[in-house]
Chain A
Amino acid sequence: MLRLDAITVQFGGLTAVKGVSLSIGAQEVVGLVGPNGAGKTTLFNAISGLVRPTAGRASFEEADILKAPMYKRARMGIGRTFQIPQPMHELTVRQNLLVAQRFGAGRVDEAKVDEILSFLHLSDKADRDAATELSLSELKALEVGKALATDPRLLLLDEVLAGLETASKRSFMKTLTELHARYRISILIIEHDIETISNLCPRVCVLNYGQLIADGTPQEVFSDPEVIRSYTGGGHD
């Protein structure tokens, strides 16, 4: 479904992502982990179109995506959330989803929007102002809802659990597990918490200094000496 081939992203003299190649299959759930500054969000930015890779190729469902602008990638079926929720000011929660659906999926289906709101436990907040009347966990749910409204086949979740207290985090994890079962989409998720990622993802990829250093099951990856070194400050070889 998604194929990255030697993706490199440089900012001036800094190489944020270095020759990353990976594939994600249909309905696969993959965790993307790594220490701070490893290049995880930059890789998300390269996939979603926020930054242009310096080198490499990327395709989604066999179509080259690197030449497509960000909004076209969203229409192609690549949904994404931001680490810090970005609700649309002065639009209600429902309107946020409807606008995402109208432009991202190219249609308006209010029943589907209501279904997403209900699934994300946002039905009672549907007519509230999205920017000012939601808690952090609700804002995170809205972020996921906006992405779901575009009818994605691949969902990129950038630290969607970050900042949530334990109970909200547990509840959100359950929602994410149900999301995958219900919508049958591929998910690539960035998350720092190893236990969370191990519970959510049958497959984990590890980035360190912009390079992919491990790719496998959570057990394989988190027992890999290079991964352990990257987390304990062993640094770059």
Chain B
Amino acid sequence: MTALILQSLYSGLLSGGSYALIALGLALVFGTMKIINLAHGEMVLLSAYMAYVMENRLAVNPLLATPLALVVACLIAVVVYFLVSRISRNRELNSLILTFGIGIILTNAALIIWSADIHSTSAPGFQEPVVLGPLYSMRSELGFFVASMVLVAALWWWLSRSWYGRAVRAVSSNRDAAKLMGINPHRTEVVSFVVAGILASVAGVAIYSTGVIQPALGASLTTKAFIITVLAGIGSIPGVLVGAVLIGVVEALTVTLYSSAIQELTGMALFLLVLFVLPNGLFGAARRRG
């Protein structure tokens, strides 16, 4: 039993790392524009389909689809930004409706182009086991986790060390005060969307490399990313990382100890429980107390 729980914790950690990558894009855009991009999961989904297309049409390693996925996800991100920035009234609510609609359009486009069939990679080596003592994972899962951590670290560095990263944080902190500092908020918003697109593209290719994809996946990824972002406390990057791992671990433990049928349910229950106790999320409360 102990070995099973240890394995669940390990699997939860690995999937949590990948969840973090998806949630960070959502959190970044929310930070700068105060909108929830409900089409974020579909950006990840289309990136995953780029990997599928590259493998099945061009017979190349799906990881080589990353540049193509990057272009596609960033293009969608810029289009979403362009449309959202045109909303002049009640942006918070109207952007929800708009991005929800974009998500539906992208999901249906995927359905028309690639059908509702489930797809997964058959590239050699991806599903080979990597054994670390008593812990087991697929090579692709471990690769995804490492790539996620590298990207999270890069994002952290960018936000804390680069001028544009600091500008993004300034706009997230207080848009008007940032403008008084000479920061062009529109530019930082575009940059945030593009960075979210980059994270989504890597996440998409990685999801195809580690599991199965189908058109409905986008909406569930958005929901998960949203839960993690709120659970973490809006605006907290370390919080997103912790929240993502927490959700990943809880889901993995649920699968091990009970059933995969209620895996999503326990994640949602944890989310509601945390919000009930800490309405500002795990790290939002700490920030406020500080």
Contact = CB atoms under 8 A, between A and B. Distances in A.
B115 to A, nearest CB: 46
B183 to A, nearest CB: 5
B173 A89 contact: yes
A13 B166 CA distance: 40
A15 to B, nearest CB: 23
B185 interface: yes
A100 B173 CA distance: 14
A89 B169 contact: yes
Contacts of A89: 169, 172-174, 235, 287
A103 B169 contact: no
A149 B185 CA distance: 19
A150 B181 contact: yes
Nearest to B288: A132
Q: What size tier do the contact residues of chain A reach?
A: 20 to 34
Contact of A50 (B167, B169, B176, B290): B176
Nearest to A151: B182
B182 A104 contact: yes
A118 B88 CA distance: 43
Given A102-B163, A129-B290, A132-B290, A74 B179 contact: yes
Given A71-B182, A132-B290, A146-B181, A103 B167 contact: yes
Given A74-B182, A91-B170, A99 B176 contact: no
Nearest to A106: B182
Nearest to A103: B182
A90 B168 CA distance: 12
Given A88-B170, A89-B169, A91-B170, A69 B179 contact: yes
Contacts of A132: 290
A95 B169 CA distance: 11
A213 B239 CA distance: 53
Interface stretch (A1-9, A78-86, A185-193, A216-224): A78-86
A82 B181 contact: no
Given A91-B169, A91-B170, A147 B180 contact: yes
Contacts of B183: 71, 99, 103
Contact of A80 (B166, B169, B180, B185): B180
Nearest to A80: B180
Q: 5 nearest interchain CB pairs?
A: A104-B182, A86-B177, A103-B182, A100-B181, A70-B179
Interface of B: 163, 166-167, 169-170, 172-174, 176-185, 235, 287, 290
20 contacts: A49-B179, A69-B184, A71-B178, A71-B179, A71-B182, A71-B185, A75-B182, A79-B180, A89-B173, A89-B235, A90-B173, A91-B173, A99-B163, A99-B170, A99-B181, A99-B183, A100-B181, A103-B163, A129-B290, A149-B181
